[in-house]
């Protein structure tokens, strides 16, 4: 499944139940659900939705802001994941979609682990939005 595809097929039913069962504040579950449906308004999605925005991240050369890049591979979020319970177990490469990444970690039978992942995703998204909406083009964590 490519990142651009939405995850609406019936074989994803268990993932939705799992997402909604994680005991975190609703905004975290909604964010993960929206991310798995690829309806998060990152620059590439905004561009696809005909919003006049540059899909290239400021201060990143020619890197486009995709959902997977913003949540997992952006230089400032890599240390966050490394310092978390994932401690470097983040899949490298672009061969998996965001939903495949989430599914892999939801298969770990650890409620606290799931809560931490959802919380970190929310924190990354929240910080990104503060920078984006204030139209600051500097690094995400400066």
Q: List pLDDT tens digits, range 116-137.
A: 999 999 999 998 888 777 765 5
Q: Is the pLDDT of residue 111 over 80?
A: yes
Going by pLDDT thresholds of 50, 70 and 90, the confidence category of residue 91 is low
pLDDT recorded at residue 2:
41
pLDDT recorded at residue 29:
95
pLDDT recorded at residue 32:
94
pLDDT recorded at residue 3:
42
**Across 2-27, average pLDDT:** 72
Host H or E run for residue 98: helix 98-106
**Across 4-14, average pLDDT:** 54
Query: Which residues on neighbouring strands pair with residue 56, listed in sequence order?
Result: 64
Q: With pLDDT > 90 as the criterion, what percentage of the chain qualifies?
A: 25
CA nearest neighbour of 65 among 17, 16, 112, 129:
129
| Window from 3-17, 18-32, 45-59 with minimum mean pLDDT | 3-17
What token pair was written down for 95?
Answer: 């061969």
> What's the pTM value of the predicted model, to 2 decimals?
0.79
Between helix 13-21 and helix 98-106 the angle, nearest 10°, is: 60
What is the average pLDDT value for the chain, to the nearest integer?
79
């Amino acid at each position: 499944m490519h990142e651009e595809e939405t995850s609406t097929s019936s074989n994803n039913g268990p993932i939705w139940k799992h997402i909604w069962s994680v005991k975190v504040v609703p905004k975290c579950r909604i964010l993960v659900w929206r991310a798995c449906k690829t309806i998060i308004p990152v620059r590439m999605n905004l561009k696809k939705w005909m919003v006049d925005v540059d899909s290239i991240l400021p201060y990143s050369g020619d890197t486009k802001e995709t959902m997977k890049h913003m949540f997992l591979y952006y230089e400032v979020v890599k240390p966050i994941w490394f310092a978390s319970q994932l401690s470097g177990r983040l899949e490298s490469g672009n061969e998996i979609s965001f939903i495949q990444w989430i599914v892999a970690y939801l298969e770990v039978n650890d409620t606290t682990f799931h809560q931490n992942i959802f919380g970190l995703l929310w924190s990354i998204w929240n910080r990104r939005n503060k920078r984006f909406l204030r139209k600051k083009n500097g690094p995400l964590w400066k």
